[in-house]
Chains A and B, each alone.
Chain A
């Protein structure tokens, strides 16, 4: 077969449009865009930039609310104190562990749920509602019900364990239960994000893979997941950022005792229990930096490599 000549020519990538030469219309449109964004920017600055700046300012002072008169500038002294403290590294390690394990488990379960919801023919609405229930319950309420369930003597789950065991008082068991509560609570969110991604995979492409001889797992691994990669990355990013800031489940279940506290618990303890604004603010700023680093890594490393980084034409 010989190719139609004109078409071979057309295959060459078209030259990118020249930059920097905006027409009058385009410039006006851009000005209008900036104007329309302005109110939102002002509000954002008021509610986020100001507190962040103030936290940074506080973190550079020695400032103990019990002795407000003795507040004075210490530069990076608070950061030095936090970063050399074993409490920070312990909390960071627990946080990372909880984040990695819970997000990994949620991804797998969420994917399974998304596939079930996607394929469900009967009672689609019912399935989706049922799956979403945990996500609809206030975290603190859910955490308390988990706490009662695991408390020896009163809890129905604790009753299933050998007598004398108190899982929430052991570091590893408690971390396991915290992860369980996290997973139970947020898997539905993951499933919903993945379901949206699944809906973007063209049905004919999956059918083509069926005809090409792919089994269910081969279709999933070689076709569906690669095509869902952008959606998976977004879901992972959201959940990782969320999980890294874990607070309420730990606060209710263990209160951070027995080395189960996350960095957020550590910051809370310093700020509101010890009333040490300087150290507490330094911890908050460090958490903010960690979160920013995670987001940056996701976008730089995975985002750039994602096939859907720029939307693919078909």
Chain B
């Protein structure tokens, strides 16, 4: 177990590609940190640099207080779980799990006990003498985990360890990994591009984009106070809705009507010299069916025509289309591309609202919606910065 410190880590590949830029993070002993971001943002590269599989171009990496930039992977005492599991196909499960100990010249009897203990924890005991090729996907995944835990290393590094499993198994394994990490208390860095995994697993989440760290914080903090458009759109499912807005005297004029600006928000916007053209972000759950909202609550009502109604039992998701969504914002285009929305060929701008199941909303007919204006986010379209939560990311 150890503290891992990344100090100004930069990675430039030999072909000139700048994969990671000035990465600063201190991972506390025993902490579970998630690296999340869209494909190609440098998550694996960062992890491989910690493991020693990629050279660090600039910056220093300290594990347990020692600079390890120039140490080979075998001298870093770190275990890694790969996306493909990377099991040794010619060895049985027992030998796969004991391989690192065997290389470390640990006594045979000790290896045996440790492997059997790990197999018991992971429920692999009856498979110890089988070859990886004869195991199911979930079992192979557990062997890969077992190979890491028998070593009792300073840290676990996991690169999308669950992405080859089907959805149901992924949820089960996610819970098991979280429980295992808590039980062993080993520092863990976990890479995923699945924001649900990121939100549910980690003590802290690092959101990356294009090799740059966007924000570091607890899952709740990232959800409540995203520093910019990218984090706001990336965290949360379904994602935050974005609307173009013009700042008027006391209101933000949007295609959903005028949203009142309260004193706190006005002061914030004035202090930051906000431009007149802004982007408003509203989370799906900050909408409600106007008919179900009591008189007491302050907010804004508007009318929209329902395109699609999806009921998931506990909630009803209502989709509707608005003209004049924010255009020409690279972050939003990237988010849409990452979530596959760009390919759906939808015209106009799609808004998703999460409503109480008691709603009477019906497809094709207009309905009155209520927006919780106290919870909206306002972004500067030029910088993408969140003007509602101007505090810097907590490191």
Contact = CB atoms under 8 A, between A and B. Distances in A.
Interface of A: 1-4, 7, 10-11, 13, 121, 202, 204-205, 207-215, 218, 222-223, 226-227, 229, 307, 312-314
A213 B209 CA distance: 32
Given A1-B176, A212-B100, A213-B100, A207 B86 contact: yes
Given A211-B53, A213-B104, A215-B74, A314 B138 contact: no
Given A208-B82, A211-B51, A312 B180 contact: no
Contacts of A10: 136
A314 B89 contact: yes
B135 interface: yes
Interface stretch (B119-127, B249-257, B284-292, B314-322): B119-127
26 contacts: A1-B122, A1-B142, A1-B179, A3-B123, A4-B168, A4-B169, A10-B136, A11-B135, A11-B139, A13-B134, A207-B53, A209-B88, A210-B72, A210-B74, A212-B100, A212-B103, A213-B73, A213-B74, A213-B100, A213-B103, A213-B104, A227-B89, A312-B133, A313-B133, A314-B85, A314-B89
Contacts of B122: 1
B392 interface: no
B351 interface: no
B89 A212 contact: no
Nearest to A223: B88
Contacts, number: 98
B132 interface: yes
Given A204-B84, A208-B147, A213-B100, 16 more contacts: A1-B121, A1-B123, A4-B169, A4-B172, A7-B169, A10-B136, A13-B134, A202-B84, A205-B89, A207-B80, A210-B52, A215-B74, A229-B90, A307-B90, A313-B133, A314-B87
Cβ-closest 4 pairs across A and B: A208-B86, A204-B86, A212-B100, A213-B74
Contact-residue bracket for chain B: 35 or more
Interface in B63-92: 72-74, 78-80, 82-90
A84 B250 CA distance: 114
B16 interface: no
Contact of A214 (B74, B147, B180): B74
Contacts of A212: 74, 79, 99-100, 103, 147, 151
B345 interface: no
Contact of B138 (A7, A218, A223, A313): A7
A210 B53 contact: yes
Contacts of B135: 11
Interface of B: 14, 51-53, 72-74, 78-80, 82-90, 99-100, 103-104, 121-123, 127, 131-136, 138-139, 142, 147, 151, 168-169, 172, 176, 179-180
A261 B355 CA distance: 92
B214 to A, nearest CB: 28
A147 to B, nearest CB: 45
A213 B88 CA distance: 14
B136 A7 contact: yes
Most A C-beta atoms less than 10 A away, residue of B78, B85, B88, B176 = B88
Contacts of A222: 99
A123 to B, nearest CB: 14
Given A207-B53, A211-B78, A226-B90, A7 B103 contact: no
Contacts of A223: 88
A218 B103 contact: yes
Given A205-B86, A207-B82, A211-B80, A4 B53 contact: no
Nearest to A208: B86
A211 B138 contact: no
Nearest to A307: B90
Contacts of B180: 1
Contacts of B172: 4
Nearest to B120: A1
Contacts of A314: 84-85, 87, 89, 132-133
Nearest to A210: B73
Contacts of B86: 202, 204-205, 207-208
A212 B91 CA distance: 14
A251 B220 CA distance: 82
Contacts of A229: 90
Most A C-beta atoms less than 10 A away, residue of B80, B136, B179 = B136
A202 B127 CA distance: 23
A1 to B, nearest CB: 5
Most A C-beta atoms less than 10 A away, residue of B14, B87, B99, B127 = B99
Most A C-beta atoms less than 10 A away, residue of B82, B85, B122, B176 = B82
Contacts of A307: 89-90
A245 to B, nearest CB: 33
A227 B139 contact: no
A209 B53 CA distance: 11
A205 B82 CA distance: 9
B175 to A, nearest CB: 9
Contacts of B90: 226-227, 229, 307, 312
Nearest to A306: B90
A225 B231 CA distance: 46
B259 to A, nearest CB: 47
Contact of A3 (B51, B79, B138): B138
Contacts of A210: 52-53, 72-74
A208 B74 contact: no
Nearest to B84: A204
Nearest to B153: A211
A167 B151 CA distance: 58
B94 to A, nearest CB: 15
Nearest to A206: B86
A159 to B, nearest CB: 45
Contacts of B131: 312
Contacts of B87: 205, 208, 314
